[in-house]
Amino acid sequence: MQVSVEQISTLERKMTVRVPASRYEDRVRDRIRELGQNVRLKGFRPGKVPSTVIEKRFGAQVRSEILGDVIGGSFQEAIAQEKLRPAMSPRIARDADAPSEELVFTATFDVMPEVGEIDVANLALTRLESQVEDADVERMIETLRQQRRQWNPVERAARAGDMVVFEFAAQAGDSRFPAAGVERAGTVIGSGALFKEFEEALLGLSAGDAKDAVFAFPTDFRGGDLGGKTANVQIKVVRVQESSLPVVDEAFAASFGIPGGLDKFRQDVRANLEREMRSALNGRNKLHAVDTLVFTYKGFDLPKSRIEAEARALLAQAQESASRAGRAAEAPTEPTEQMRTVARNRVHASVLLEELSIRNQIRPTQQRVSEMLATIASTYEEPQKVIEMYLHDQQLMSGLRIRAMEDEVVDWVFGHAKVTPQAVTFQQLMQAPR
């Protein structure tokens, strides 16, 4: 095998690999012979299918598979020989004009950058610590009560906390919403689901009451083109309902499918909160450590192919999210500048974490991978099915191992940096970081 490498830019390489054609042809012949001995075709005895028949039926598929294997294996052999570390999978192009005795292909790819010294001992980090208190458990149980509340119609006027079902129509100049008739909606007064002025207009109204009002609609109002406009609004209340909360008793606990009574129910609630707490602590501390690394260690080139791949992944997520919200037409068709900035930061972080893992021989333990998979699965209704899905999907497991490796590296960084612990309440921890 002959290998030559051309430097296209600081990190981009174009590698030409020449492999004797016999390495490919011999494997094709062996595979055709093997199929002839094992394949069963109508009209032929087992093991007696002529090679010409096998070639006609399976030759194209066999050649494609063997070609992919030979090129892939030769590429791995070539980068090991040249001591190169690709940042991404290469772009492969076969030379169709190569001599018949050679298989020639080019592989274009970015290599990992030279990062330089990373002295973790000089990093000053803050590590968040927290614990679940009894009050957090009771607060979550109250949230569960609110989720199980029932709404009962009442004849009185609406007040804060009531659910009001109403019909309305709004006119702003030549714009009307809806274009004809009325729009039916519902809201819980005080929930903020509607803007404040609209909710206040519903206070004191009973079923059947009508009211005219003038509102300045917020710019993000999603109803026709009323956003940012002042409109005359006609309102008619259809129904007023008050909530009824369930009692926290044995029946309430059983409604969540938890046998063992209230004590077991509270234990399960605490266990769920503690799992959320550990996940949040890991996420917040990891983000802090990685951001500190990225801020501290700069000055090296980043592989453009990896940045582009990350930006494309962010674009796909944005498009999928817009599609689920029924706003596919509003989704960007190309990565935005913000997406590229986020992608650049993510790649910067991944390069540093990979470098630290290699230099310090940090590998994810099987226990950590299993615990991460169990944590992910526990958020679904059928955890075992999620675990089996991961175990049978190499791509999912590869992504999981990368995350586990990053967590191992972050733990190592905290173990070698200057760390100051900071206690936070469970509520503070669960608030989105600003």
Cα dist. 135→40, 53, 266, 431 in Å?
69, 76, 11, 17
Could you tell me the two tokens for 101?
């005795």
pTM of the predicted model over 0.85: no
Torsion, Cα of 306, 312, 313, 319 (10° steps): 170
In 109-205, alpha helices (H): 134-147, 196-202
d(CA 60, CA 380): 43
Q: What is the pLDDT averaged over residues 268-275?
A: 92
Share of the chain above pLDDT 70, in %: 99
> What does pLDDT average to over the chain?
91
Q: What's the pLDDT at 186?
A: 93
Q: Is the confidence at residue 365, as pLDDT, over 60?
A: yes
By CB atoms closer than 10 A (0-12, 13-18, 19+), residue 164 is: buried
> Higher confidence at residue 30 or residue 13?
13
pLDDT tens digits along 31-58? 888 887 777 777 776 776 777 777 888 8
List, for residues 326-335, the tens digit of each pLDDT value.
888 888 999 9
Contact (CB, 8 A) for 387 and 95:
no
Q: Which of 59-63, 109-113, 195-199 has the lowest mean pLDDT?
A: 59-63
Can you tell me the distance from the alpha carbon of 4 to that of 22, in angstroms, rounded to the nearest whole number? 20
Q: How confident is the model at residue 175 (pLDDT cuts 50, 70, 90)?
A: confident
Residue 399 CA to residue 350 CA, distance in Å, equals: 13
Of 284, 271, 290, which is closest to residue 375 (Cα–Cα)?
A: 271
Which of 241, 141, 130, 121 is closest to 189 using CA atoms?
241
Q: Residue 96 in 3-state DSSP?
A: coil
What does the buried/exposed string (b/e) look like for 97-117 if buried means 16 or more CB atoms within 10 Å of the residue's CB? eeeeebbbbbbebbbbbeeee
Q: Does domain 150-244 bear CATH number 3.90.1410.10?
A: no
Domains of the chain, residue spans? 2-110, 120-135+253-430, 150-244
CATH architecture of 2-110: 2-Layer Sandwich (3.30)
In one-letter notation, the amino acid at residue 180 is: A
N-terminal to C-terminal alpha carbon distance within the chain: 55
CA distances from 190 to 161, 187, 196 (A): 6, 9, 8
DSSP conformation class of 111? B
Architecture of domain 120-135+253-430: Orthogonal Bundle (1.10)
